[in-house]
Chains A and B, each alone.
Chain A
Amino acid sequence: MMNVQVKDFISRVRVIKLDNRIDAVNAPDLKREFEQMIADGANQFVLDLQDVPFMDSAGLAALVSLLKRARAASGDVKLVAPKDEKAMRILHLTKFDRVFEMMESVETAVASF
């Protein structure tokens, strides 16, 4: 009799689309939402930043905080880069484009998990 081994892999990736400034005004709320998602068991995230026009240090802190928590839960966070070159330059300046895996689209980001 043939030995058939079956393994099911279920990859649950949460895609979060952000389309406004990520700054000191809204970063605390965003951070709380991220913390709740981690508490609910999510650990694989795609942050779609394509339409984010502006990010400050508080916004960067919210992103790295999510990455830290996701990795602590054996997960990861991948970023879809901002289309705005000025916002992208801030990610480059702070070397976030090396810390996070930067993806060209949501689809490729989801497929990469």
Chain B
Amino acid sequence: MNDDEQIVKLNVPASAQFVAVVEDCVAGMLRRIGQLEEDEQSVYNIRLAVHETCTNILEHAYGQQANGRINFEFSINEAPLQFVMTLHDKGQSFDFYGVPDPDPEKLQVRGYGLFLIQQLMDETIYTPTPEGNRWRLIKNL
């Protein structure tokens, strides 16, 4: 089986109702890895990072725009063992690197999503493109 055959691809409507579908798909993929069967925290963390990335796209890339879609590609690399996810949307870009970490002491209401994604994943790369936005998230397993 070549590398491309190991990639799971999804294309879903950019709607909060479908975020759980994507999360379930990711959790299902991770549970195929024997050593993660008992590691609920890792599955939970990756699931939450996926959830937050989707929520960010819904809120910031598509906003009130209807009929948006998100393309996902998931794969598990074996050496080193990694979960790799890329997302593409065709919405608005935003200044990813200009968003400061939240300071809860200031009772900040926003900014927790990006912070969580970066805390929960080992690598988070956001690239705005003329056609939309590309995210690449990697978690070492």
Residues of A within 8 A of B (CB): 23-25, 54, 56-58, 60-61, 64-65, 67-68, 71, 85-86, 89-90, 93-96, 98-99
Residues of B within 8 A of A (CB): 16-17, 19, 40-41, 44-45, 48, 51-52, 55, 58-59, 102, 104-105, 107-110, 112-113, 115-116, 119-120
Complex: how many Å from CA A98 to CA B105?
8
Complex: how many Å from CA A94 to CA B114?
11
Chain A contacts for B110, CB-based, 8 A: 61
Select which of B16, B109, B115 is within 8 A of A64 by beta carbon: B109
Complex: how many Å from CA A90 to CA B40?
14
A85 lies within 8 A of B41 (CB): yes
Interface of A is mostly: helix
In the complex with contacts A57-B113, A64-B109, A93-B116, A98-B41 CB distance below 8 A: no
B102 lies within 8 A of A94 (CB): yes
Smallest Cβ distance from A97 to chain B, in angstroms? 10
Smallest Cβ distance from B112 to chain A, in angstroms? 4
Complex: how many Å from CA A89 to CA B47?
14
Output the nearest chain A residue to B117 by Cβ-Cβ distance: A57
Select which of B17, B44, B104 is within 8 A of A99 by beta carbon: B104
In the complex with contacts A58-B55, A93-B116, A93-B119, A64-B104 CB distance below 8 A: yes
9 nearest CB pairs, A to B:
A57-B112, A57-B113, A86-B44, A99-B104, A68-B107, A24-B55, A95-B104, A60-B112, A61-B109
